Amino acid sequence: MTKAKLAVLLGIISFAGLFFYFKNHTPSSYDSLAQCLTQKGAKMYGAYWCPHCKEQKKMFGSSFKYINYIECASPGSNIQKAECKKAGIKGYPTWEFNDGSRLTGKLDFDTLAQKTGCSLP
């Protein structure tokens, strides 16, 4: 391989590395909302196999890491974990709020903000 080809290859690899680093480390526009939801006591109960849970997570993008999320499905099965049985979770996603109220289903940002008093980005 020539030096020029090697330099181009190294440049491409470096660019790809930087792209993936910043994609995963750049603050999302929903970071503050997700952090506020958790600070206000909101939690989301979900299951890895649940399509509505996947949609809810996708709405937050990389900011979902700040959500207090409880996985209710045992790995590789549909068996509900004891924590979720004890909490009386019947459907996914279920959002539980600091006042003890719950809403089931994929929620929009407005509803989450209204239930918690958090500001939208």
Sorted by where each starts, the structural domains of the chain and their CATH numbers stand as: 31-116 (3.40.30.10)
| Each residue's pLDDT tens digit, 13-31 | 655 444 444 444 455 799 9
| Alpha-carbon gap, residue 78 to 60, rounded angstroms | 24
Residue 69, strand partner residues: 44
The tens digit of pLDDT for each residue in 20-73 reads 444 444 557 999 999 999 999 999 999 999 999 999 999 999 999 999 999 999
On the CB side of 91, CA atoms within 13 Å amount to 6
Q: 10 Å Cβ neighbour count for 11? A: 10
State pTM to two decimals. 0.77
Diameter of the chain measured on Cα atoms: 66
CA angle 26/51/102 to nearest 5° reads: 85
The span from the CA of 93 to the CA of 97, in Å, is 13
